[in-house]
Structure 1
Amino acid sequence: MKVAISGASGFVANALKKRFPNFVVIERKDDVEAIHQKLEGVDAVFNLSGAPIVARWNEAYKKVLYSSRIDTTKKLVEAINQSEVEHFISTSAVGIYPNNVPCDESTRILGDDFLGKLAQDWEAEALKCTKCTTILRFGVVLGPDGGALAKMLPAFKLGLGGIIGDGWMMTSWIDLDDLVAIYAFVLEQKYEGIYNATAPQPLSNYDFTKILGKVLHRPTFLPVPVFMIKLLFGEGSTVLLDSKEVYPKALLEKGFVFQYPDLECSLRKILA
């Protein structure tokens, strides 16, 4: 199978390139014509474009977040609809859901903040594709050599890791190997629609922190004040402070089996 990947320099894309070694790269600067040419002989397109979400936001950066997702997806969809590509897998995020509510794909009330509306617009653009279209709503992706874990490990290894605030917020996460397996699963079965790419066991920040400390054999008694997160990231702190309890109901109903359904199992593999 030949695939095309946008956002090909990212953490998840690098793992997908190992699983799907016959690939072409779509760059953000490519126009519709250039993308269409690159899609010659391509069976599936993976849309992973998007500026980093964990950052300090201002109005200018929020425009970058929006454009890097919606405008890029718009070009991709236009080119795909003119091509022989059979399957389009586009990215979204659990930020589409409201806070403090258990959610699965049947949840109809979606977030009305910036992240919620960003994800909704992103998905709406992807769903204009006339080919078999799958949208994966990512949780926090955990794996070696990148992603959220790489940002967390230095402090934890020094014994400076701790819960954020009171640790009440829920974290929906997924092991990188399981995420790559989901791509293969939906491609092989030609499943379309929306799927939560999250492990079946979301955890509170408190439990997540304690398990990571246990695996690293490091203390986790220094809480990180909420005001410090807000000071560092401004409005972007919502990525770290929001509480998203999301379940992969649709994938489980289709028969997908998670290799790493619990956090300790995932972390011990990653950090071995």
Structure 2
Amino acid sequence: MYRWLILDRGYHQMPPGNGPPAFDDEHFQFLQRLSASDFRLGRRFTGAEARHLIETFRAIRDTIREGPARFIMYPGTQDQVFEYGSGHIRSSNAITLDLDFLKAVGTLRVPRHVWEALARHASWIEPSILSRWVELLENYDGTAPPGAYRDALSWPNVEHSTREVRTLAAQLQESGGPLYCVWSGKRLNDGYDIDHCFPFKHWPNNHLWNLLPTAPEVNSGKSDSLPSAQQLHKAEDRILRWWNQAYRQTDYESRFYEEAQVALPLPTEQPTSLDGLLTGLRRQRVRLRTDQQIAEWSAQ
């Protein structure tokens, strides 16, 4: 977000006379040469790009540690809300944006009750934060036309996309591999859909693990509903078969696990196993059902 505001829009993030934020240095400025899509999980950087990115993460780490992690306290107390664990990033000429690297940057522990409150009341909390941020930006600069700061702070809509996985499914079929509907078990021949296991309408997510081959009529019946616990249990073997067929020992494998690790509550003892991922899928289903009360669906 700061990269977009500072490098692309040139909006001040500090009061007049305070200068730029501590992390806005030559290394941060280098990021202007990269696009937003370059920062997806699994992206590898080498040479000057890696060195600049490492220094940028170090500066961001220090800013968080000395700023919000230090000064955000419970009202009327000197008790810090967030527990910050500073990491150690080694200098290198090659890095990959994966979980190991991000852990090396540092950790920020959010108390469970704070996390649950943020998750359940996000529809009220987020607009309040954005309104305050817009107000601050207008006070810091004020040269942009009306509405520009609010537009700049609007998250882009995530595209509902299944194109990549649809292409992968077609390639598997062409190579002679059988394709089955994960929900009904029906063998898929000419026509099939790619379903979002957790409905995109309620949880915009195009990760590989969330996209499953499905018969068109089944996908239509499921629509924007959440698979029931019973339905997910019935489909487990077929989901595992699809994940194994599509991603294991392929160029997609590392990305498949990285996406799962950032999105699902995986068991710590099985973070990179299909069984562990299935456990995370069950847990996330319960969370979505509890927090959003999404209608459940089971195949007939």
TM-score by length of 1: 0.32
Greater CA radius of gyration, 1 or 2? Answer: 2
Higher RCO structure (Cα 8 Å, ≥6 apart): 1
TM-score by length of 2: 0.30
Q: Which has the higher strand share?
A: 1
